Amino acid sequence: MRSRWALLGLVLLLTMLPASALLPARANATSASSAEAEETAGRRSLVALVISHADHELPGDGFVEVEGVWVKQSNYTGVIAGDDVYYYCLAPHTCSCPACRDAVDPPDIKLLYRDESVAFPLCVYTLVKPKSAGAF
């Protein structure tokens, strides 16, 4: 049932794009640059990947026992995409993501997506990478 709502949410999100994002950019137009558009498309793709793990039992995403409770591995350890790990939070429902386990501090969380419109709220986030010692 959640997958149907997630799909509906993604379709609604896509239909809410401004028309300027669908038309060719004109000189001095205020539309997003192609780099921003690619970043937005990449973010949507990552969110869809993580939501698919939340909504379905995918191969390689079995259950692990955490403190006597069986949880999906992807909820506990995250979903790897490229060099990054993305997490989903199902709070206030039972959730074993790092944020719900208090394994990370709130400033270390970069929220990518929040959907509170469905019966089972869902957030997708990643962790902020610490800056290297010499970087400012």
pTM assigned to the model: 0.67
As a whole number of angstroms, the distance between CA 46 and CA 105 comes to 23
Per-domain residue ranges of the chain: 2-21+32-127
pLDDT at position 132, please? 52
As a whole number of angstroms, the distance between CA 45 and CA 40 comes to 9
Per-residue pLDDT of the chain (136 residues; tens, 9 = 90+): 455 554 444 443 444 444 444 444 443 444 557 777 777 778 888 999 999 999 998 999 999 998 888 999 999 999 999 899 999 998 888 889 999 999 999 999 999 999 887 777 899 999 997 655 444 4
pLDDT at position 34, please? 74
